[in-house]
A and B are shown apart, each in its own frame.
Chain A
Amino acid sequence: MSMTTSAQIILAVMVATYIIAKALKVSTELSMLAAALAGALAGGAGIPARHIVEGAFTYLDIILIFITATLFMNILKESGGVAHVIRGILRKFHRKKSILFILITLLLLLPGALTGAGSVTVLITGGMIAVVLGYMDISKPRAAAIIFILAGLSAAAPPVSLWAMLTAAGVNMPYVGFFLPLLLPCLLLSLLVIFILGWKGKPVNLEKALKELPEAPPQMNWIRITLPFCVFLFLVLAGRIWPHSLPIVGLPMMFMASACVSLLLSPVKLNFLRISRETVHQLLPLIGTLTCVGILVQIMTLTGVRGLIAITIVTLPLIAVFLTLSIVLPASEAVLMWGAAPVLGVPLVLLFNTIGLNPIIALAGMSIIWPLGDALPPTAIIGRLTVHTVGMKGRYSQLLKHCLIPAIIIIIVGTLMVVFSKKLAFLTLL
């Protein structure tokens, strides 16, 4: 049997196992693990403990960033900081729709940009922003669409963009030069989406909105909120200004330092242990996905399946690759979640690099398309979470309907970034 046929059979076994596991209502993470184990068995590797451990370690650094950043955001929320910011903005700008939309966009982008997870945006600021949008007479499905799309773009926004990080790690490319190529499209598209979906919104009924929003502790102020962010910024900049005098702190420890400052400055007494436990529980599906994807990719590499996928993609006609990005990327995200980045992203970036496109811009373009798949079945994790958080009643398809136009715009922008990546290379500042 040729190596290609062997890899094809193993891939078929893995896909079949995944489908069966999903049909048996096993979670996506465990289904991926089952597919990996079945692939190893089919490939004659048995249960390869060394490769399972190796794979589980692949994204440990990203998992640490994930946990510490979300812990920081959760402490900020529990201390009343987020409520204070939203109430403050609302009081000042409730009559100025445009400014309110711009500030809402920034509030929705920040948690996801720092943590790399759209779910954190939905959980930290999504619920409160939904209340504000509701009092602007924006329907629940429309508000859910705004929050979902912005949560997705926030996850793709820098400094932490998991799709870009996972793919870059897969092709041994440093995660450098991504800041502007990710920030500009994410920011501009977010503003465009909120203005398109919310343009019919009326000025907020301030009294009613404030009544429904959670109260912030009276002692909460802007210094208590901004100081932890200043600490984070200082640590990031200090490492660059004095690279030889300071130890390498790393993003997880920077977020921990900010979390500790936020905890110390909180006007209310917080139970750090409880918040930490809830953070780990809240992130379980995401950490589980990263760990299981690491194992899956390791087994795919061991059995030759990853090579098969890479060769197939690299040998496709280029025009077919460009035209199908809009379908393949969201669909792969819907099935594999972040696993799509190392499995499909890596060969695609290698292909783009080989034909002379700029891999950083191309990857940034793909990174803004991927999150759209988070609303699609079978996983639809962020989509379902948004519907639940916003309190949207009715059919799930209502959310998808309102997401359609923004999704088309995002896909066009992302694809154009890939196609014209060479001309946009100046954005990397390299």
Chain B
Amino acid sequence: MIMTILYYILTGYIAFLIIWNLLKSKKWQEEALYIIILIPFILRLFRLK
């Protein structure tokens, strides 16, 4: 259970970093890529998958 919680925290932290970098990015290709890589992290975080 503790490990599961730790992994959720790690996933949340990485999702936060991706969103931060996405907001700072000024290149459209980078932005698109950040959005794509964000998908699994967000879905996992909200326990949708």
Binding site for B on A (CB under 8 A): 26-27, 29-30, 33, 52-53, 56-57, 60, 63-64, 67-68, 247-250, 252-253, 256, 276-277, 280-281, 284-285, 287-288, 291-292, 295
Contact = CB atoms under 8 A, between A and B. Distances in A.
Given A53-B49, A64-B11, A277-B20, 9 more contacts: A33-B36, A56-B40, A57-B40, A57-B49, A67-B14, A253-B3, A276-B13, A277-B21, A287-B37
A247 B2 contact: yes
Contacts of B30: 284
Nearest to A281: B21
A contact face: mostly helix, strand, loop, or mixed: helix
B contact face: mostly helix, strand, loop, or mixed: helix
- Residue among B11, B18, B30, B40 with the highest chain A CB neighbour number at 10 A: B40
B17 to A, nearest CB: 5
Contact of B34 (A52, A247, A256, A284): A284
Interface string B1-32: 01100110011011001101100000001101
Nearest to A290: B37
B43 A53 contact: yes
A66 to B, nearest CB: 11
A291 to B, nearest CB: 5
Bin the interface of chain B by size: 20 to 34
Interface of B: 2-3, 6-7, 10-11, 13-14, 17-18, 20-21, 29-30, 32-34, 36-37, 39-41, 43-44, 49
8 contacts: A27-B33, A53-B39, A63-B37, A68-B10, A253-B10, A287-B37, A291-B40, A292-B36
A160 B14 CA distance: 20
Contacts of A56: 36-37, 39-40
A412 to B, nearest CB: 37
Nearest to A283: B37
Given A252-B7, A291-B40, A30 B33 contact: yes
B37 A291 contact: yes
Contacts of A67: 14
Given A247-B3, A252-B10, A276-B13, A60 B40 contact: yes
A36 B23 CA distance: 26
